[in-house]
């Protein structure tokens, strides 16, 4: 009799342990950007890779549309998001406690996971506005970007480099997702968007009734800008290939670029960061097919452009896979 009871108890215990481990789902949220940008589908692509292995990891990753880079960094650090996509330049500023983080100081809990696609500062204007260069923005209605976005500081940097103050223009601060509509309605003359190409936003802006063109950001002012900020680099937007409806005659437009990067907090569990890193890199060719902006990706360049130390969970994978040789020593803590 007693033996039977013990056996029953032991069985009940086993059943509950087994069902607990099966039922233990780990919910992970990835902060992205506006739905017409590249961050949003990128969050989807990363989630897809790890969710495929749900049985193995128990991870269910979901994507959140957010205000962009600055919002994502802050939300990752406050624990509101597990992961966030952010521009390499904003990652640099957050880590060093500069620009948007000047009052708060260096964000020492920020951790890098990997870099993703290149992004370029894209200035787009209606043909009717007569804007052909950054200097022509004076007196015009220009959307600089919403607070929380990466482009807000980029557009301010570009204007400053060209000696244009906010008083010289009529600045707007709306989300990128709304900008193509405003441009097409004639309610703004131009907008800035730091984004990977091709994307739905610039497609929408270039395919409406009003003719628009992508404006080059080049010249001595830009050379000075590149010297001042180490994270900016020269870039090209393949306008003919990606946006054939734009009024540009040239195949490519010169501008300034950064990189999209994936960040998390030092507090994020190592097994979660490991799983995401492993699934993206182990299935690299499948991942690359998920967005045309990934065409230029290599495993090596996905480890460049980072400032915050690599999260231990990601580092574990880079050690196992031998990719660690591409990582600067300063990022290994
Ligand atoms: N670079 C933009 C930002 O940081 C977002 C671009 C995108 O959503 O693809 O706000």
Nearest atom in ligand 1 to the alpha carbon of residue 196 is 9
Does residue 21 have a pLDDT over 70?
no
Establish whether residue 69 lines the binding site of ligand 1, counting it when its CB lies within 6 angstroms of any ligand atom.
yes
Class of domain 2-117+261-331: alpha beta
Does residue 22 have a pLDDT over 80?
no
What would the CATH number be for the domain defined by 119-258?
Answer: 3.40.190.10
User: 125 phi and psi, to 5 degrees?
Assistant: -140, 155
Are the beta carbons of 40 and 34 closer than 8 angstroms? yes
CA dihedral 74, 76, 77, 80 (to 10 degrees): 90
Q: Among 149, 177, 259, which residue has the most ligand 1 atoms within 8 Å of its CB, making it the best to mutate?
A: 149
pLDDT score for 4: 63
DSSP state of 251: S
Are the beta carbons of 299 and 325 closer than 8 angstroms? no
Per-residue pLDDT tens for 144-173?
999 999 999 999 999 999 999 999 999 999
* Average pLDDT along the chain: 95
- Residue 259 CA to ligand 1 center (angstroms) comes to 10
Nearest atom in ligand 1 to the alpha carbon of residue 149 is 10
Does residue 176 have a pLDDT over 90?
yes
Looking at residues 29-56, what average pLDDT do you find?
98
Per-residue pLDDT tens for 197-253?
999 999 999 999 999 999 999 999 999 999 999 999 999 999 999 999 999 999 999
Does residue 140 have a pLDDT over 80?
yes
Ramachandran class of 145: left when φ > 0, alpha when ψ lies in -120 to 50, beta otherwise: left
Are the beta carbons of 73 and 90 closer than 8 angstroms? yes
Selection from 259, 270, 283 nearest residue 312 by Cα: 270
DSSP state of 101: G
Q: Compute the distance between CA of residue 119 and CA of residue 280 in angstroms, rounded to an integer.
A: 20
pLDDT score for 5: 64
pLDDT score for 24: 82
Does residue 9 have a pLDDT over 70?
no
Per-residue pLDDT tens for 124-136?
999 999 999 999 9
Cα first-last separation, the chain:
59
Looking at residues 295-312, what average pLDDT do you find?
98
Does residue 175 have a pLDDT over 70?
yes
Establish whether residue 146 lines the binding site of ligand 1, counting it when its CB lies within 6 angstroms of any ligand atom.
no
Per-residue pLDDT tens for 90-139?
999 999 999 999 999 999 999 999 999 999 999 999 999 999 999 999 99
- Residue 330 CA to ligand 1 center (angstroms) comes to 26
CA 327 to chain centre: 20
Per-residue pLDDT tens for 43-59?
999 999 999 999 999 99
pLDDT score for 333: 87
Confidence category of residue 185, pLDDT binned at 50, 70, 90: very high
Looking at residues 261-277, what average pLDDT do you find?
98
- Residue 293 CA to ligand 1 center (angstroms) comes to 13
Selection from 82, 111, 126, 44 nearest residue 293 by Cα: 44
Global confidence as pTM = 0.93
- Residue 3 CA to ligand 1 center (angstroms) comes to 64
Per-residue pLDDT tens for 59-91?
999 999 999 999 999 999 999 999 999 999 999
Residues of the chain with CATH 3.40.190.10: 2-117+261-331, 119-258
Cα Rg of the chain, angstroms: 23
Are the beta carbons of 235 and 118 closer than 8 angstroms? yes
């Amino acid at each position: 009799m007693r033996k039977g009871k013990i056996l029953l108890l032991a069985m009940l215990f086993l059943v509950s342990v087994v069902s607990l481990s099966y039922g233990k789902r780990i919910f992970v949220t990835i902060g992205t950007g506006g739905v017409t940008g590249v961050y949003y589908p990128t969050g989807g692509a990363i989630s897809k890779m790890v969710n495929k292995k749900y049985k193995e990891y128990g991870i269910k990753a979901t994507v959140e549309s957010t205000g962009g880079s600055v919002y994502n960094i802050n939300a990752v650090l406050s624990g509101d998001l597990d992961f966030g996509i952010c521009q390499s330049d904003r990652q640099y500023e957050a880590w060093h406690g500069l620009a948007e983080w000047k009052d708060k100081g260096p964000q020492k809990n920020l951790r890098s996971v990997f870099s993703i696609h290149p992004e370029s500062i894209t200035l787009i204007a209606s043909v009717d506005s007569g804007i052909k260069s950054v200097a022509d923005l004076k007196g015009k209605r220009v959307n600089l970007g919403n607070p929380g976005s990466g482009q807000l500081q980029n557009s301010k940097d570009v204007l400053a480099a060209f000696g244009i103050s906010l008083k010289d223009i009529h600045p707007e601060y709306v989300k990128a997702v709304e900008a193509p509509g405003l441009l097409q309605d004639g309610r703004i003359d131009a907008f800035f968007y730091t984004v990977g190409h091709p994307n739905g936003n610039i497609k929408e802006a270039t395919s409406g009734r009003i003719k628009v063109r992508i404006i080059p950001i080049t010249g001595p002012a830009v050379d000075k800008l590149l010297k001042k900020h180490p994270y900016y680099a020269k870039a090209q937007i393949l306008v003919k290939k990606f946006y054939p409806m734009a009024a540009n005659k040239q195949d490519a437009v010169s501008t300034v670029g950064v990189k999209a990067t994936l960040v998390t907090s030092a507090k994020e569990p190592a097994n979660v960061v490991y799983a995401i890193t492993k699934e993206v890199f182990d299935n690299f060719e499948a991942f690359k097919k998920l967005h045309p902006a990934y065409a230029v990706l290599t495993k090596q360049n996905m480890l460049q452009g980072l400032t915050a130390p690599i999260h231990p969970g990601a580092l574990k994978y880079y050690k196992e896979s031998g990719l660690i040789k591409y990582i600067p020593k300063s990022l290994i803590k």
